[in-house]
A and B are shown apart, each in its own frame.
Chain A
Amino acid sequence: MTLLILLSVSFISAVVLAFVGDRKFAPEINILGSAATFAAGVGLAIEVYMHGPMVAGNKFFFVDAFNVYLAVLTSFVSMTTAVFSRRYMRWEREHGRVGHWGMRFYHAMFQLFIFAMLLALLTNNVGVLWIAMELATLSTVLLVSLYRTPTAIEAAWKYFILCGVGIALALFGTVLLYFAAEKVLGEGGEALLWTNLSQVSDKLEPTVLSLAFVFLMVGYGTKVGLAPLHNWLPDAHSEGPTPISAVLSGLLLNIALYALVRCKVLVDGATGTHQAGYIMMGFGLLSILVAAFSLLRQKDIKRMFAYSSIEHMGIATFAFGLGGQIATFGALLHMLVHSLTKSSIFFTAGHASQMHRTQEMDKIKGLLKGNPLVGWGLMFGVMAIVGMPPFGVFVSEFLILTATMKDAPLLTPLLLIGIGVAFAALFRRVQPMVAGLIPANQHPLKAAHIPVILHLVLVLIIGLYMPDFLSQWFHTAVELLK
């Protein structure tokens, strides 16, 4: 029941907002809808925490420790993003960057996007998972081109084509998976249900599944933004409205990685080898290194943090590929803290570029004096994302590094180089932006405070002390993914 509410609230909000359009209270409805979704998410989490994993709706939905924490995270970040977007988008509207139809479209698609992500997380059917991933892409494509500038349209077109093709390959992988599953489970819808598949994964044909995994890896990997399939990501993140960058980076990438990990579990079960893990480690490591060295060359603030997202998704993918208790635990934690930190960074970066009327980092200065919250928020956000203690990212990266030293010691230097270069690249850029006097091109701005503070405080708490229920969840999820 809670599950149904969770899914339907965002869908209904999307329809309502499509009718409300550009009216004055549209952002409030957006916040209300997201808050209700979050409340339902928490309710669902409590249910699962009390009674364990559950299957609902004629086996159509399925909740366990792995997807419920992502569902709570998704609904939480979308709620805070809705709060942030109220002030942010109002500013954009007042300054003529979006029109009447643009706002209507923005709000409706924002909610539809959340619906698609939640459906992808909660569905039990691997085919529906694919459909929801595609829906999530489609609902954000036109949001990326919302400003109608030549670069925005180019970014959106790239996003549409690259992710469309990528995800089409994932469908081919799903067809192959179904082909193997049908032999064991019989024809019909039952054969694509994850709960059934995971039970018989050792009976699935290994050759077919390893071929399927290649397609699934390339397909969902494109959406995770893994190098060398990452070209769409920096463009889409930098050209779209900032709230969309925040949810794309903080949530969509996680969901794609979730899909990939679910598939990996099945392939591992079938092949009995570590082959899928090695592929993921390769892609992950390459992403970390490519992103770290690209970070050094960035001039655009949102583009830079987009590359940082590629780096962090690379770290999580690498850790999932590595497998084992510590690495998987680290990867799950990393998905959580990266999502919280990166979206808060995008919030502040968005405000910073509004204050300076540009996204060029050379022209952004004196944030601490101009707007202390934006300045300190960006500063602490970056400190958290580069992995400084006592923030949560430090803990997850530390766990992953420890596991790497134990299981794949030869790769540790590469991982350290990636993290180190990213650290230097981000820090070098942030110092001049926050420090200094207020430049002539800076304008005062009413920033959205609460989301940034909330996210950073949570990341800090997780870094200092991990609540019992969270670590228990992660341990259960680790067991599931073994």
Chain B
Amino acid sequence: MSINLAAQVNSIMAALILLTSFGLLVQRRMYGLLHLFAWQGLFLSISTAIVGYVSGSHHLYISSILTLALKVILIPYILHFLMKQLHIHKEVEQLVNVPTIMLIGIALVIFSYYLTAPIRELSTLVTRSTLAVALATVMLGLLMMITRRHAVTQIIGFLALENGLFFAATSATYGMPLVVELGVALDILIAAFIFGIFFFQIRTTFDSLDVEQMTKLKEED
């Protein structure tokens, strides 16, 4: 595979990651969200492997496998298990103002391109154009966490945001040093267990996973 072709494939992966981000933003069904998230992880993993091949930085293969194991298999499995246990896998979340959310999302993508413009000029890597997509994925994850009310959806938004960070690391610098990538993966794994415990705590205390009910703590006037 020539470098040019690899860069093309990588761009396609970037496009697919962005597409899944938008999909996550407006998907109402819990299972649909889970599948989209797993797909995003898969695209990320493929993209990381391609960048590893292009750049010859072999530690990226490890990080690609790590992404595959964590984001495509383990965490979706944990989420699937939790959804079954909590009987929410068929739940459909109410979404308001889908067109507005989409428009804000598009604006965020444009903003990301604008923000990363100076970096793209400085960079000589073949992956530099995907940095904007990475930042957009981060921002779309944030937007998802803001607009959704379901605890599980917020967590998926958070994990999508982390995907964006991993993607940023590979496209800006051919990946962070291995010790950092491993540490970050460990943190995500711990976080996965913690939100699992959380779902049960929220469920037993509030009878549902709608975080809208958590409004007791605020300043009284």
* B158–A164 touching, CB < 8 Å: yes
CB < 8 Å neighbour of B202 from A128, A134, A157: A157
**Chain A residue nearest in CB terms to B216:** A151
Which of these binds chain A: B65-73, B79-87, B164-172?
A: B164-172
CB < 8 Å neighbour of B183 from A131, A160, A297: A131
Query: Once bound together, how far apart are the Cα atoms of A156 and B200, in whole Å?
Result: 13
CB < 8 Å neighbour of B173 from A138, A171, A178, A238: A178
Residues B95-146 near A (CB distance < 8 A): 115, 118-119, 122-123, 135, 138, 142, 145
Residues A416-452 near B (CB distance < 8 A): none
Query: Once bound together, how far apart are the Cα atoms of A165 and B211, in whole Å?
Result: 17
Q: A254: CB under 8 A from chain B?
A: no
Given contacts A142-B197, A157-B211, A165-B142, contact A179 B173 (CB under 8 A): yes
Q: Give a binary string over A160-180; 1 marks a CB under 8 Å from any B CB, 0 the rest.
A: 110011001101101110110
B202: shortest Cβ distance to chain A, in Å? 6
CB < 8 Å neighbour of B176 from A135, A138, A178, A205: A178
Q: Give a binary string over B137-162; 1 marks a CB under 8 Å from any A CB, 0 the rest.
A: 01000100100000100100010011
A183: shortest Cβ distance to chain B, in Å? 8
* A175–B142 touching, CB < 8 Å: no
Query: Once bound together, how far apart are the Cα atoms of A191 and B177, in whole Å?
Result: 9
Contacts of B176 in A (CB 8 A): 127, 174-175, 178, 192
Contacts of A172 in B (CB 8 A): 135, 138, 165, 168
Contacts of A205 in B (CB 8 A): 122
* A189–B177 touching, CB < 8 Å: yes
Contacts of A157 in B (CB 8 A): 151, 198, 202, 211, 214
**Chain B residue nearest in CB terms to A138:** B190
Contacts of A175 in B (CB 8 A): 165, 168-169, 172-173, 176
Contacts of B172 in A (CB 8 A): 175-176, 178-179
Please indicate which of the listed interface residues B118, B173, B174 has the most CB atoms of chain A within 10 Å of its own CB.
Answer: B173
Query: Once bound together, how far apart are the Cα atoms of A127 and B219, in whole Å?
Result: 36
**Chain A residue nearest in CB terms to B174:** A187
CB < 8 Å neighbour of A299 from B191, B197, B198, B220: B220
Given contacts A125-B179, A171-B184, A175-B176, contact A155 B217 (CB under 8 A): yes
Contacts of A297 in B (CB 8 A): 219-221
Given contacts A135-B190, A155-B217, contact A208 B118 (CB under 8 A): yes
* A131–B173 touching, CB < 8 Å: no
Contacts of B119 in A (CB 8 A): 176, 179, 207-208, 211
B148: shortest Cβ distance to chain A, in Å? 11
* A160–B195 touching, CB < 8 Å: yes
Q: B57: CB under 8 A from chain A?
A: yes
Query: Once bound together, how far apart are the Cα atoms of A167 and B216, in whole Å?
Result: 25
Interface of A is mostly: helix
Q: A75: CB under 8 A from chain B?
A: no
Q: B5: CB under 8 A from chain A?
A: no
* B183–A128 touching, CB < 8 Å: yes
Of the four ranges (under 10, 10 to 19, 20 to 34, 35 or more), the interface on chain A belongs to 35 or more
Query: Once bound together, how far apart are the Cα atoms of A158 and B216, in whole Å?
Result: 12
Q: Give a binary string over A124-143; 1 marks a CB under 8 Å from any B CB, 0 the rest.
A: 01011011001100100110
Given contacts A160-B198, A208-B118, contact A138 B187 (CB under 8 A): yes
* A189–B179 touching, CB < 8 Å: yes
Q: A400: CB under 8 A from chain B?
A: no
Query: Once bound together, how far apart are the Cα atoms of A178 and B169, in whole Å?
Result: 9
Contacts of B198 in A (CB 8 A): 141-142, 145, 153, 156-157, 160
Contacts of B202 in A (CB 8 A): 153, 157
Q: A2: CB under 8 A from chain B?
A: no
Query: Once bound together, how far apart are the Cα atoms of A176 and B138, in whole Å?
Result: 14
Residues A187-228 near B (CB distance < 8 A): 187-189, 191-192, 205, 207-208, 211
**Chain B residue nearest in CB terms to A155:** B217
Q: B201: CB under 8 A from chain A?
A: yes
Q: B194: CB under 8 A from chain A?
A: yes
Q: B78: CB under 8 A from chain A?
A: no
Contacts of A155 in B (CB 8 A): 217
Q: A363: CB under 8 A from chain B?
A: no
Contacts of A164 in B (CB 8 A): 158, 191
* B194–A142 touching, CB < 8 Å: yes
Please indicate which of the listed interface residues B118, B183, B195, B220 has the most CB atoms of chain A within 10 Å of its own CB.
Answer: B183
Please indicate which of the listed interface residues B176, B202, B215 has the most CB atoms of chain A within 10 Å of its own CB.
Answer: B176
Query: Once bound together, how far apart are the Cα atoms of A175 and B118, in whole Å?
Result: 15
Q: A104: CB under 8 A from chain B?
A: no
Q: A182: CB under 8 A from chain B?
A: yes
Given contacts A171-B184, A235-B217, contact A153 B205 (CB under 8 A): yes
Given contacts A128-B180, A179-B173, A297-B219, contact A171 B194 (CB under 8 A): no
**Chain B residue nearest in CB terms to A181:** B173
Q: B178: CB under 8 A from chain A?
A: yes
B140: shortest Cβ distance to chain A, in Å? 13
Query: Once bound together, how far apart are the Cα atoms of A206 and B111, in whole Å?
Result: 21
* B138–A179 touching, CB < 8 Å: no
CB < 8 Å neighbour of B205 from A141, A148, A183, A192: A148
Q: B206: CB under 8 A from chain A?
A: yes
Q: List 25 A-B contacts (CB under 8 A).
A: A135-B190, A141-B194, A142-B194, A142-B197, A145-B198, A151-B217, A153-B201, A157-B202, A157-B211, A158-B217, A168-B158, A169-B138, A171-B165, A171-B184, A172-B168, A175-B168, A175-B173, A176-B119, A187-B173, A189-B178, A189-B179, A189-B180, A207-B118, A238-B217, A299-B220
Closest 5 CB pairs of A and B: A127-B180, A131-B183, A154-B214, A189-B177, A134-B187
